Amino acid sequence: MYVRKEPQAVSFEKVGIKGKIFPALDLINSTNVVLIDTESGHETTIIEHKSDFIYYILAGSGYFLINDTKEICSQGDLVVVPLGTKFIYKGKLKMLLITTPPWQEEQEETL
């Protein structure tokens, strides 16, 4: 099956965000696709050590603070966070997150 429906259950909930990981690793093992919802933003600054993050803003608005540079974002914007980059985001946002390679919690450093 090549079409995947939005997962009904939340895959993780932490630091102000909820995430649903789409089940696709049986088809592609190099990428994860995650639906992120937040009312206020990510509560901690992180550095992702193994994955590039690409966020597509589906709804809402806010900002990303990437390596101390504030970037305003809203529906329709694409935000690219290369691995090894310090970042946080704030705002009421619904985003599609693509991670390459697939994200794993233990590869994140919380500041």
Instruction: Assess if residue 6 is contained within a domain.
Output: no
Six-digit token string for 55: 């966020």
Instruction: Assess if residue 110 is contained within a domain.
Output: no
Domain that holds residue 34: 12-95
Q: Which residue has the higher pLDDT, 94 or 43?
A: 94
Q: What local confidence, expressed as pLDDT, does residue 57 receive?
A: 98
Helices (H) and strands (E) in the chain, counts: 0, 9
Share of the chain above pLDDT 70, in %: 100
Instruction: Assess if residue 65 is contained within a domain.
Output: yes
Q: How many domains does the chain have?
A: 1
Instruction: Assess if residue 1 is contained within a domain.
Output: no
Q: Which CATH number does the domain housing residue 82 bear?
A: 2.60.120.10
- If you average pLDDT over every residue of the chain, what do you get? 93
Question: Residue 85 in contact with residue 66, Cβ under 8 Å?
Answer: yes
Give the model's confidence band at 84: pLDDT under 50 very low, under 70 low, under 90 confident, else very high: very high
Question: Residue 108 in contact with residue 49, Cβ under 8 Å?
Answer: yes
pTM over 0.85: yes
Nearest residue to 90 (alpha-carbon basis) of 16, 19, 11, 12:
16
Q: What local confidence, expressed as pLDDT, does residue 99 receive?
A: 95
Residue 107 has pLDDT above 80, yes or no: no
Instruction: Assess if residue 7 is contained within a domain.
Output: no
pLDDT tens string 28-64: 889 999 999 999 998 889 999 999 999 999 999 999 9
